Amino acid sequence: MTQTHSDDLVVVRTFSYRHEAELGRSMLEGHGVDAIVSADDFGGFQPAVGAMTGVRLLVRRSDEKKAGKLLGNT
Protein backbone atom coordinates (compact mmCIF):
# COMPACT_ATOMS: atom_id res chain seq x y z
CA MET A 1 0.00 0.00 0.00
CA THR A 2 1.29 3.44 -0.92
CA GLN A 3 1.10 6.22 1.62
CA THR A 4 0.61 9.81 0.54
CA HIS A 5 1.80 12.78 2.51
CA SER A 6 0.93 16.45 2.27
CA ASP A 7 4.60 17.13 1.39
CA ASP A 8 4.51 14.83 -1.68
CA LEU A 9 5.14 16.78 -4.87
CA VAL A 10 2.50 16.87 -7.59
CA VAL A 11 2.54 18.34 -11.08
CA VAL A 12 0.21 21.32 -11.07
CA ARG A 13 0.78 22.22 -14.73
CA THR A 14 2.97 21.22 -17.68
CA PHE A 15 4.36 23.90 -19.99
CA SER A 16 6.04 23.74 -23.38
CA TYR A 17 8.96 25.99 -22.44
CA ARG A 18 11.07 26.53 -19.33
CA HIS A 19 10.53 30.31 -19.26
CA GLU A 20 6.74 29.78 -19.04
CA ALA A 21 7.19 27.42 -16.10
CA GLU A 22 9.61 29.83 -14.41
CA LEU A 23 7.03 32.63 -14.68
CA GLY A 24 4.44 30.33 -13.12
CA ARG A 25 6.89 29.41 -10.34
CA SER A 26 7.61 33.07 -9.62
CA MET A 27 3.92 33.93 -9.49
CA LEU A 28 3.17 31.04 -7.11
CA GLU A 29 6.09 31.89 -4.85
CA GLY A 30 4.92 35.51 -4.79
CA HIS A 31 1.70 34.16 -3.27
CA GLY A 32 3.48 31.99 -0.69
CA VAL A 33 3.40 28.68 -2.59
CA ASP A 34 6.77 26.94 -2.94
CA ALA A 35 7.23 25.50 -6.42
CA ILE A 36 9.85 23.60 -8.41
CA VAL A 37 10.44 23.53 -12.17
CA SER A 38 11.39 20.12 -13.54
CA ALA A 39 12.45 19.60 -17.15
CA ASP A 40 14.49 17.24 -19.28
CA ASP A 41 15.98 20.11 -21.30
CA PHE A 42 19.61 19.76 -20.22
CA GLY A 43 19.45 22.71 -17.86
CA GLY A 44 17.89 24.96 -20.46
CA PHE A 45 20.56 24.30 -23.10
CA GLN A 46 18.21 22.19 -25.25
CA PRO A 47 14.80 23.90 -25.06
CA ALA A 48 13.48 21.84 -28.00
CA VAL A 49 13.83 18.69 -25.90
CA GLY A 50 11.86 20.33 -23.08
CA ALA A 51 9.17 21.34 -25.56
CA MET A 52 8.81 17.72 -26.65
CA THR A 53 8.69 16.24 -23.15
CA GLY A 54 7.09 19.15 -21.30
CA VAL A 55 8.35 21.31 -18.47
CA ARG A 56 6.63 20.42 -15.21
CA LEU A 57 5.71 22.82 -12.41
CA LEU A 58 5.51 20.97 -9.11
CA VAL A 59 4.09 21.98 -5.73
CA ARG A 60 3.40 20.24 -2.44
CA ARG A 61 0.21 18.21 -2.48
CA SER A 62 -1.10 20.41 0.33
CA ASP A 63 -0.72 23.47 -1.97
CA GLU A 64 -2.20 21.84 -5.09
CA LYS A 65 -5.64 23.46 -4.93
CA LYS A 66 -4.30 26.93 -4.12
CA ALA A 67 -1.72 26.68 -6.92
CA GLY A 68 -4.36 25.49 -9.37
CA LYS A 69 -6.58 28.46 -8.57
CA LEU A 70 -3.69 30.90 -8.89
CA LEU A 71 -2.69 29.40 -12.26
CA GLY A 72 -6.27 29.40 -13.49
CA ASN A 73 -6.59 25.60 -13.69
CA THR A 74 -10.12 24.26 -13.78
The 10s digit of each residue's pLDDT in 50-69 is 456 789 999 999 999 999 99
Query: Helix or strand or coil: residue 33?
Result: coil
Residues 6+ apart with CB under 8 A from 30: none
Stated pTM of the model: 0.78
What is the fold, at CATH topology level, of the domain defined by 9-71? Alpha-Beta Plaits (3.30.70)
Q: What's the length of the chain?
A: 74
Type of residue at 56: R
pLDDT per position as a tens digit, 34-54? 999 998 755 555 555 545 678
List, edge to edge, every strand of the sheet that includes 55-60: 9-15, 55-60, 35-38
**Euclidean distance between CA atoms 41 and 48, whole angstroms:** 7
